Structure formats: structure tokens, C-alpha cells
Amino acid sequence: MPKRLANKVLLIGWDGADWRHIDPLLDKGQMPHLEKLINAGVMGNVASLTPMLSPILWTSIATGKHADKHGILGFAEPDGSGSKIRPVSSTSRKCKALWNILSDLGFHAGVVNWFASHPAEEINGFVVTDHFAQPAGPPDKEWPAVPKSVHPDDLLESLCDYRVHPAETTPAQVQPFIPKLADLDHAKDANLHQLRILLANCATTHAVTTWLMENQEWDFLGVYYDTVDRFAHAFMEYQPPRMPHLSDEDFERYKDVMTGCYRFHDMMLGRLVELAGDEATIIILSDHGFHSDHLRPEGSSKIKDGRPVAWHRQHGILAIKGPNIKKDQRVYGASLLDVPPPVLPLFGLPVGKDMDGHALTQVFEGDPFEPETIDTYEEPTGDDEVVADVNEDPWAAQQLLERLADLGYIERDASVDGVVLDRARNLGQIYAATGRPEQAIAEYERVLEKKPDDKGCQIAIASCRLEMGQLDECEQAVDEILKNDVDAPLANLYRGMIAFRRGDTEAALKHLRQAEQTDPRLPGLHCQIGNVYLRRKRWADAERTFKKALSIDGDSAEAHDGLGVAYRWLKRPQEAVHEHMQSVGLLHHRPQTHIHLGLALAEVGHVDWAIRAFNVALEQNPNNPFPHRCLAQLHERAKQDPATAERHRNTAAALAEKLRSRPGQQSPANEPDS
């Protein structure tokens, strides 16, 4: 077995945490424990997945797999009988989490408050599920723990002593979040009531975690705090500057809540780091970011219609510190799926080939290495869709469903049919985001069979048809869906993309400009306009447009990539390399960006790096002939290797023939012009 690199591993989840909010607090010295951690380790962005729903994302973090493999597809699911719904459960997860893998191999593992961890699994260690901290009933009545919320059973009595009921929170504890607490009607203020619930839940999670760290043996511990995200949904709209829909009075009352939330988490982090010890490797991450600046959507941040994603940002935070981790450096190109692959080598274990992520070996000190692999850690099982029966307390399950409804995560009158359709929508998004449009369409059509007027699914199918090159079908769908709103920015955006794929750049620019006039902040719009300028060889206009996109969202991987293409054609290859590197650092799995990076690297004479970039592009999309053509030229002209060059030319020709046999298909934008 390879050398073990970590004595202990502590994985801390901060749902919704975002560097854009954290960085100003670090600059002011208001998060000293996090600052100390990142100065002693590595830090960077981590790219989220689609859809950005916490149960799905945190299960992907725990397993290293997309949700179609792990089976957690939303906040709720049908129960074993199929007649009722319940919160998502550990019995519905179809693959092993980190704590299962480590436990099976004899390590002591622990997990606290992780999404979809109930009922508690029997592992070599301890589990405190996401149901344990939920308040039930008035504070002056008995508050029994939810059955099966703790493993082993003999820990239950000790841990119950550390539960905090919302009514037990004191004014002194709330004051740091709402300095003007005295101005509020404590009995009637809904925001104050929500804050106390969230604060009690977080305090319970933290108290239980610290007790376990001090009193139980552990090699791996994963603890999940959902408080940043839930605080943000309740209070991010009050974050300065004041949003138009708020009164001056409400703004002044709640404008400090999010700062208080982050500072509270920093204090908790300090205690966790202290208990873990200097020899522990500590990983802190979030599943997505949360808009806190000019990109905040209009209106309230509170969750509506059971869809919390409008305020979520694609990039979360990642920081790692430990004895064999690099010091004071940045990590680039990480995704949520990349968390289990580096954790396993820390214990001297191979990475499962069936995991969808990649080991972030760039974070380790010493010479670069590829971790050992194993086919799978899974045991052979049947692939059925039956949800196992948890045999839990139905009253407790109903209480938690009501809690999810109060928070807006599910509809208050959610039905089994509604939950099934919601899961199908989510699965469709997963398939679409992972390059499987045919399977995505099948899931969306399942929804439309029951809800034929679901515009979101109709638009999603149109997007899939555009991706598949079925341009006529896409155009027909867009015309039908948006027939009563022909001037809508969305309609013009789609018509512009269809025209672009047909090669009609004049019509494409016309439609996209119309969309811009209606909604200049429409996501991706300026990148689409920039791509049209690239196709028309208007390099300076493309540069200006991609810079405009970056002025709106500086973390747009697509805009950095497009700007790099413009720079290369403007004979500024060094700047092109920089922009493509920025893009790859934000979103690693984007094969066209690696192609563009390879072209720019070749122009500045970094041939070996260029070859590596083209090979990465092929790893991500093996069916594209263009990287093979580039590799053929590099191996023939720069490496003097005609045999390898010929192999790449032959492969490119075969792949090009396949593409020609598929109507409507073409290489991704910008590649033919490259």
C-alpha cells in the first residue's frame, strides 16, 4: 500500500460559502482562523455541479460521483411504500461515501449532520445524522431525539445534552448578528425567529462535533454546516448596498447579519482546527457560492417555489492545510467531484476508477505523482429503482418535511407525483450538464407527460436539441414555447445561437443584440456575442465584448476563454495564455478551452505544454478530431516524430468522417477558425 500522508483528515463543509464575500472580511482581519489556514496551505475556487441543490451536491462530494450514480436527486423522495414522501435518506444512496470506504478498510470514520445521512449507518466509528439537530416541540416539553439519528446507540444520551433549542438562544447570542436587536418586536419579527432557529441548529452541530472530536477515536471526520447558505437565503438581500425592494428601516436592521454569520463560522473553525491538531489535514469547502454583489437577482433571496438556485453562484470555496500540503499557494481547476480522490491517497488508498472526479495531486508537496487506482469500492448490486424502507418515526419525518417547507426547499403540499417529477427534472439537468442530451430529453419528456405546460422542461429540451445539432427542431420548439413573447431576451438568445450554428452570423448578431437591449445582464449573452465576433474575424470587437462580460462576472470561464482567443488573433499570445489559464482554473472540464490553451502555448514556443493541453482536451472529449490535427503538426514539425504525427492524422480523419455522418454536428465554437 502507498505511504499514508495524513494522520487524520477533517473535512468541513460550509454550504454556500463564497470567496467574494469572504475576501473583504479577510482583508479587515475579521476571519483570522480561516486566514491562518489558507496561509499555511492551498486555497482556490471549486466549480459546482448542475443542478446546484445541496442534497445532490453534498452527496457528490462524499462519493465523488454524479447524482445519476449516487441516487440522491433532491430534498425529498417517495418512501418505501411509494404512497408518501420523506426527506432524502442514506438508504437511497446507491454507492459508498468516504466514511463507508474508510470504515470497511478498518479506519475510524465519523460524520456529523451530512445531507442524506439519516438513518445513521453502522460504520467503524460514529454517525450523527442531519435529523439529529432539528428542533421538535416547545422548549418546556420533552424533546426526544429522532430514532436512528445516532450511531452507535450508546452515544445518544451524551449527545442529547448538547442539543440547543431555538428558544434557548439569548439576546447576547443574537446581538452580533443584529446589532439593533432592541428595535425589534421579538415576538412577531419573522426574520429574528428564523435566525434563532438557524443559530440553534448550527450550535447543536458544532457542540456535538467538538464533543466527538474530544471523546471518540477518529481518522476521518466529515462535518457539514448548512448555516451560511440558509442565513444567505434569509438575509443576503439585506447585504449592502441596499437593494431597491427593501425599506431603509429593514436594511439598517439586518445589513450586518451575513458578516456576523461568516465571523461566527470563523470562530467555530478555530476550535475545530485546535481539536484536530497540527498533524491533521483539514479540508474546508462549499458546494457553491452565493451572490452577494451586483449579480444578486432582483427581489428577495428567500426561497420560492421550492427552487433555491437563483441566488447560487457557480464557484464555491476550497482550502486545504496539512503536513504534506503545499504552503500559501492557490489550487486551480477543482470541482466538487475532486474531493474524495485526494482524500483516499492521504490514507494511502487507491482512487476508484468509477469515481467521476480527479485527484488534486497539485496540492501535495514533492514531485508530481499519479495516485494508484482500483476499479471500484462498490459491491455488485442490482440496479433497481426501489427506494428502501427506512422504518423511521413517521411523526419525525413529517416534522422535517414541514421544516423543509418552511425553508422553501419543497412545496408545502408536495405530493409523491410532484416529488417524482422534480427528481426527473433534476436528473435531466444532470444528464444535460454531463453531455448526455438524449437521456436528458427522455427525463424532461417524463415531466411533460404529466405537466405538458412546464416551460422550463420545454426550454431544456430545446437546449438539448441545439447541443445535438438538431437546429430545425430547436427553432420549432423555441417558436412554439415563446410564441406569445417573441421579443423576449430568451427567445432572441436562442434564435441567435441557432443562427450562429447555421453559419448566419449576421442574423445571429441581430438577435443577440436585441436580447442585449432587453436584458443586458442575461447570463452568457455577451459571450455569445463575442463568439459571433470571433467567427466574423472582428477581433477587437470580440475583445471588447468579452471584457464587458468579465466586467459583469469576473469568474466567467467562457469569457476568459473567448478573450484569450481574441488576444491570440490580435498577435498577443502571452496574454492569450494568461486568459486561457484563468478559464481552466475556473472550470477545468471544458475541452475547447484546453484546445485554445494548446494553440496559444504553441505560439509562444511551449511545445510540451501545448501537447499536454491538447491531450487533456482529448481526455475530456475523445471524439473531437481537431486536437489530433494539432498534435499531428506538433509531433511532425517540433518533435520530429513522423510516426506519432501520422497516427494522429489518421485518427483525426476517422473522427471527422464520423462527424460528417451526423447531421447538424460541427466542432465547438471557435475551433475551426483556430
SS (H, E, C) 354-367: CCCCCCCHHHECCC
Nearest to 615 by CA among 591, 649, 647: 591
Task: Give the Å distances, CA to CA, from 664 to 250, 428, 492, 672.
Answer: 54, 22, 20, 15
What are the beta bridge partners of residue 321?
A: 282
Residue 454 within any structural domain of the chain = no
Return the pLDDT at 647: 96
Q: What is the CATH number of the domain that holds 202?
A: 3.40.720.10
Q: How confident is the model at residue 326 (pLDDT cuts 50, 70, 90)?
A: very high
Residue 422 within any structural domain of the chain = no
Backbone φ and ψ for 325, nearest 5 degrees, come out as: -105, 145
- Maximum CA extent, the chain: 82
Residue 299 within any structural domain of the chain = yes
- Spatial separation of the C-alpha atoms in residues 364 and 366, rounded to whole Å: 7
DSSP string, 240-287: SSPPTTS-HHHHHHHTTHHHHHHHHHHHHHHHHHHHH-TTEEEEEE-S
What are the beta bridge partners of residue 329?
A: 42
Residue 563 within any structural domain of the chain = no
Residue 261 within any structural domain of the chain = yes
- Spatial separation of the C-alpha atoms in residues 306 and 407, rounded to whole Å: 9
- Spatial separation of the C-alpha atoms in residues 189 and 280, rounded to whole Å: 43
Task: State mean pLDDT over 499-521.
Answer: 92
Cell 436594511 -> residue: 251
Task: Dig out the grid coordinates for 99 from the structure.
Answer: 466514511
Cell 476563454 -> residue: 561
**Residue numbers of the domain that contains 143:** 8-374
C-beta atoms surrounding 578 within 10 Å: 16
Instruction: For 57-194, list the strands marked E by DSSP.
Output: 76-78, 85-87, 109-112, 125-128, 150-151
Return the pLDDT at 672: 42
Tens-digit pLDDT profile for residues 241-273: 999 999 999 999 999 999 999 999 999 999 999
b/e sequence 5-41, b meaning 16+ C-beta within 10 Å = bbebbbbbbbbbbbbbbbeebbeeeebebbbebbebb
Return the pLDDT at 42: 96
Return the pLDDT at 114: 97
Cell 466529515 -> residue: 222
pLDDT at 306 over 70: no
Q: How confident is the model at residue 674 (pLDDT cuts 50, 70, 90)?
A: very low
Return the pLDDT at 518: 85
Task: State mean pLDDT over 423-434.
Answer: 96
Task: State mean pLDDT over 369-397.
Answer: 67
Ranges 48-57, 80-89, 166-175, 431-440: which has the least confidence: 80-89
Estimate the crossing angle of helix 257-276 against helix 19-27, to 10 degrees: 80
Residue 569 within any structural domain of the chain = no
Backbone φ and ψ for 504, nearest 5 degrees, come out as: -90, 80
Question: How many Cα atoms sit within 13 Å of 591 on the Cβ side?
Answer: 21
Ranges 105-114, 344-353, 368-377, 447-456: which has the least confidence: 368-377
- In the chain, the amino acid numbered 528 is Q
Q: How confident is the model at residue 100 (pLDDT cuts 50, 70, 90)?
A: very high
Tens-digit pLDDT profile for residues 338-367: 988 889 999 999 999 999 988 888 899 988
Tens-digit pLDDT profile for residues 557-608: 999 999 999 999 999 999 999 999 999 999 998 999 999 999 999 999 999 9
Task: State mean pLDDT over 660-673.
Answer: 52
Residue 275 within any structural domain of the chain = yes
What are the beta bridge partners of residue 43?
A: 319, 330
Return the pLDDT at 387: 46
- Spatial separation of the C-alpha atoms in residues 642 and 645, rounded to whole Å: 5
Region class of 457: left (phi > 0), else alpha (psi between -120 and 50), else beta: alpha
pLDDT at 388 over 60: no
Task: Dig out the grid coordinates for 182 from the structure.
Answer: 432592541
Residue 443 within any structural domain of the chain = no
Domain count, the chain: 1
Nearest to 505 by CA among 530, 479, 536: 536
- Spatial separation of the C-alpha atoms in residues 377 and 349, rounded to whole Å: 11
Task: State mean pLDDT over 304-316.
Answer: 80
Cell 437563483 -> residue: 310
pLDDT at 47 over 90: yes
Q: What is the mean pLDDT of the chain?
A: 90
In this structure, the strands spanning 125-128 and 150-151 are: antiparallel
Task: State mean pLDDT over 109-130.
Answer: 96
**CB within 8 A of 460, min separation 6: which ones?**
428, 429, 432, 440, 444
Nearest to 61 by CA among 421, 429, 318, 411: 318
pTM of structure = 0.91
